[in-house]
Chains A and B, each alone.
Chain A
């Protein structure tokens, strides 16, 4: 049962993990798409720590702009090291294919307001048998809505996501709700061909519902988390470096679940 709890905790961390692109928040998704025919690649390193659990992973992402308001992202996560007490594991995690459709955009001088639908499919490509597990074993669906305001001076994002989990054998993980609010600013508006910096403060709320085994509710599951912390987006033309750290402001995890210490992320993104 304890092993199962650790699997669930790992998955909990996994799906609260960010999927970043462009000027979207570091720990969330924003309404940004890419120009029609545009290709982007991103490599990100993420580190999570919760008492005796820690997880270091790399994410490799490929982005393609089908049109200026429809983008597809393939995300391949790789667990470099997952640790739970004395046990460690590594390997391919669950691959995600995600689409974003920007259904609203309002342009003004130096300002862009936009709203985007998100739909993602997470495939069971990781392993359930490893301890900690690198995959959930289930085909999960991600639905989201994200709103953003970007200007040459101010930034604001509000994103809500719902992760619908399906059954894997006799087990079914609880669905998740993720809500993110980020605000920031550009301290200096510099010339187009020189570097650019945006500073953000990102707040995340994560709720995970009860897991079930054979239709029985699993005690060591369900919980709420509120995380908060600073992030930055540094870019020069088509290269962006982004990083951030978030600490828990409040956690209410039921049963025997490790409380999160922090999560940190650094990523490099390049557009072709």
Chain B
């Protein structure tokens, strides 16, 4: 009898946890390109600072490429300022932030966005080589930030509400969501 109840409770917990899966999937990995990482002993200071950030679950460094791999919890929010301060306080220089995230595409007035995390955080999508372009007030973001082919593809994903996985470099904007220059997009 006890076993029967235990099995029922287990089944209930499993169902509940499946039901609790976020509507929007999450940032799977955050990768920081950090300059000055010359020794593993010194990189420990960065580990201390990064692990203190909310939602960080794992930390590793590829010393050769200077890349810091950070695992995030499902509901972790991207707080660029805190990441920047953590790297600075550890005594290093942050060059780039990359991420790999799963989510759904939405079309907004600013362009296409990837919606990630339980908090529905949005990342404005850019063509990989569009980051270096110059932008002006009144520009059509769809035309300036994305190629016609990519805009078409994203439009399709947005209308079908298909889940995608995107890898790319993150950059910040004033008054707009952070930008993600999509290096790789995969349908899930």
Contacts and interface: CB of A to CB of B under 8 A. Distances in A.
A23 B39 contact: yes
Given A22-B41, A107-B35, A111-B36, A192 B61 contact: yes
Contact of B64 (A36, A152, A196): A152
A192 B45 contact: no
A151 interface: yes
Given A107-B92, A193-B60, A271-B45, A150 B66 contact: no
A189 interface: yes
B45 A38 contact: yes
A34 B63 contact: no
Contacts of A235: 39-41
Contacts of A107: 35-36, 92-93
Interface in A37-94: 37-38, 67-69
Nearest to B39: A23
Nearest to A37: B89
B22 to A, nearest CB: 30
A68 B42 contact: no
A192 B89 contact: no
Contacts of A233: 41
Contacts of A68: 88-91
Nearest to B38: A150
Interface in B9-46: 35-46
A109 to B, nearest CB: 5
Contact of B63 (A22, A36, A108, A189): A189
B77 interface: no
Contacts of A152: 38-39, 63-64
A133 B91 CA distance: 40
Contact of A109 (B39, B47, B66): B66
B62 interface: yes
A151 B91 CA distance: 15
B120 interface: no
A193 B40 CA distance: 8
Interface string B43-54: 111111100000
Interface SS, B side: mixed
Given A35-B46, A68-B90, A110-B64, A105 B36 contact: yes
Given A35-B49, A107-B93, A110-B63, A238 B44 contact: yes
A112 interface: yes
Nearest to A109: B66
B44 A112 contact: no
Report which residue of A37, A112, A193, A198 has the largest number of chain B beta carbons within 10 angstroms of its beta carbon: A112
Contact of B41 (A110, A189, A196): A196
A198 B45 contact: no
B46 A192 contact: no
Interface string A202-233: 00000000000000000000000000000001
A192 B39 CA distance: 8
Contacts of A108: 35-36
Given A23-B42, A198-B39, 6 more contacts: A36-B90, A107-B93, A111-B36, A152-B63, A235-B40, A240-B41
Interface of A: 22-23, 32-38, 67-69, 105, 107-112, 150-152, 186, 189-193, 196, 198, 233, 235, 237-238, 240, 271
Interface of B: 35-49, 60-66, 88-93
11 contacts: A68-B88, A107-B92, A110-B63, A111-B35, A112-B36, A112-B42, A152-B63, A196-B39, A198-B39, A235-B40, A235-B41
